Chains A and B, each alone.
Chain A
């Protein structure tokens, strides 16, 4: 999270808060205009930009300090939860100076008497014809990713005799490779979508428009292809780490390196975008559609007259949706649900962490309860009961919860799939209960509680 958050803040800072605003095409999402650069107007716009940039700089320092401070939170789960909350809050807070700057510049436009003429431009020479995506290169990257996935699958099915230790046959390797491949596959439609974006008309000269739009699309296409190859290398390394013993440590190292590589590629893309815009805005740009009013706070596009669903973002990197489009409304709703859902999930995980495990030992059954009844193990079906130490277990979660003080759900234990876990690993001890068709690993909240339960069960 830290490796991802800090470079994102830096990229956002350089893209959203311009030092030399006169060279930028847009300032805080508002089209930069000749009127802004004249006489007293220049001083006023300059004061707005400086004030908002100063706020953004202070925020950047504070956010990086908090992100660094969170690294020292002792519990991994609390750290993760804190980071998720931090990311949400920081994304909102970090955009506040931008939104304020946007609103001030829009107001100033009105003061200057600038009214949108609602003129739309289209260049007949570039319309629908300008593409820069190297489709074979992108498809090749994804095909290589697919081959790595097939190799991982064949290993898990033991067709290829590669030894992944306890992970052989657990589909953990396949899952790891599939995650990276999925990242590439998500990028595939985005690459085609951006390649088909409308071409901006910045000049009366069609050649300038062609060069500008082609360069912009090529920059994005190269970025997507680069990220796809990074995903392939990460998938290959992800497969490779299972040959080693310290899989957990290597996994964390791999994720850190992967995120750094992605951030590096993104920074390169952002740098090229800024350079590209600077070159053309300072040079040939003469035409600009005044659609500032359709951009709420300079971030959200709402234009009922525009039939397009996806549009380019105003900061120059990435795209967004037209929230007035019927599909845009649905997507916005889904996104809002995802954000609310993830916050609810976070609260739920917090509640699970705080709720102690409870094992009810009845005459007929052992009931594992936490917030609600998880498992009811009928005593007549129990064939064996063993006591063991948690540190000796080799666990991998298939479905359920695996946090510092709670393992709950379906796990692979010492190579055996489908085991049901209900234990606090911090207790140090566990009870293995085998029934006719299932194996359970359970524990209380402490070693003493677990041992007492074992004594009762063994006596019965």
Chain B
């Protein structure tokens, strides 16, 4: 899986890493139990501070997407807890996106089609 970090983006780098790993798990690019690079290796690879990668991994761990241990490094969880609901923060985000879609003149059908496509990715 390829991670793309945009240095000009307003989104902090640790969040870009976190988001892309979550998307990778969702799309199946990162399989359950798959080994992730160590904090040091990934920071060297992107050329960023180790603390940035460490922060991204800590968030992923606290959200239940990955497991970390000193011996094996970081791995995607074999079974990710399915809460069957979106977090309040994500609901707010979705609300914002729906609002912007409405303002942009998107119909519900078009919006549904878009989400359908993304769901399949």
Contacts and interface: CB of A to CB of B under 8 A. Distances in A.
Given A206-B1, A307-B49, A124 B37 contact: yes
A441 B32 CA distance: 81
Contacts of A123: 1-3, 45
A198 B8 CA distance: 22
The A interface, classified by DSSP as helix, strand, loop or mixed, is loop
Interface in A97-130: 117-125, 127-129
B90 interface: no
Nearest to A203: B2
Interface string A279-291: 0000000010000
Nearest to A307: B47
Contacts of B113: none
Contacts of B47: 120, 198, 303, 305-308
B6 A121 contact: no
Nearest to B49: A307
Contact of B2 (A117, A128, A206): A206
Contact of B42 (A118, A128, A196, A206): A128
B38 A122 contact: no
A122 B42 contact: yes
A193 to B, nearest CB: 12
Contacts of A198: 44-45, 47
Interface residues of B, number: 24
B91 interface: no
Interface string A317-337: 000000000000000000000
Contacts of A308: 44, 47
Contacts of A204: 2
A368 interface: no
Nearest to A124: B1
Interface in A112-156: 117-125, 127-129
Contacts of A120: 4-7, 46-48
25 contacts: A118-B8, A119-B4, A120-B4, A120-B7, A120-B46, A120-B47, A121-B3, A122-B3, A122-B45, A123-B1, A124-B2, A124-B3, A124-B36, A124-B37, A127-B44, A129-B37, A196-B44, A198-B45, A201-B2, A204-B2, A287-B2, A306-B47, A307-B49, A308-B44, A308-B47
Closest 3 CB pairs of A and B: A128-B41, A127-B37, A118-B7
